[in-house]
Amino acid sequence: LQVPAMLLLPLGLMSRLPPYNTVISNVPGPRQPMYWNGARLAGMYPASVVTEGIALNITMVTYNKNIDFGFMACRRSLPQAQRLIDYMEQAIVELEQAAGIVE
């Protein structure tokens, strides 16, 4: 991401074109179960924002041996963003098969 931004700067295009359009975050959460007034927290589901110039924001949160993903997309840039969920599910199945951990 640094090289394209450096090339845009001398051309005066830096203010017109963002150096990227996807944000990916990994937020480590607690490794043990959490409780609130005796009720066990079932999961942590990330939600983020899509700002100007960003087409896709993917956030991953880990909690108690689980991984949860949040996808936020710009409807104009990615009109069929819901397909990402199908692709993600397929990729997870492939990874589980490759790792030999299929249930």
User: CA-CA distances (angstroms) from residue 50 to 18, 28, 53, 58?
Assistant: 13, 21, 8, 10
Whole-angstrom distance, CA of residue 96 vs CA of residue 103: 9
Whole-angstrom distance, CA of residue 12 vs CA of residue 95: 43
| pLDDT reported for residue 20 | 74
Whose tokens are 């997309």? That residue is 73
Which of the given ranges, 10-14, 18-22, 49-53, has the highest pLDDT on average?
Answer: 49-53
Whole-angstrom distance, CA of residue 77 vs CA of residue 87: 18
Say what the pTM is.
Answer: 0.71
Task: Decide if pLDDT at 46 tops 70.
Answer: yes
**Segments making up each domain of the chain, as ranges:** 21-99
The angle formed by the CA atoms of residues 46, 68 and 74, to the nearest 5 degrees, is 50
pLDDT in tens, 50-80: 888 889 999 999 999 899 999 999 999 989 9
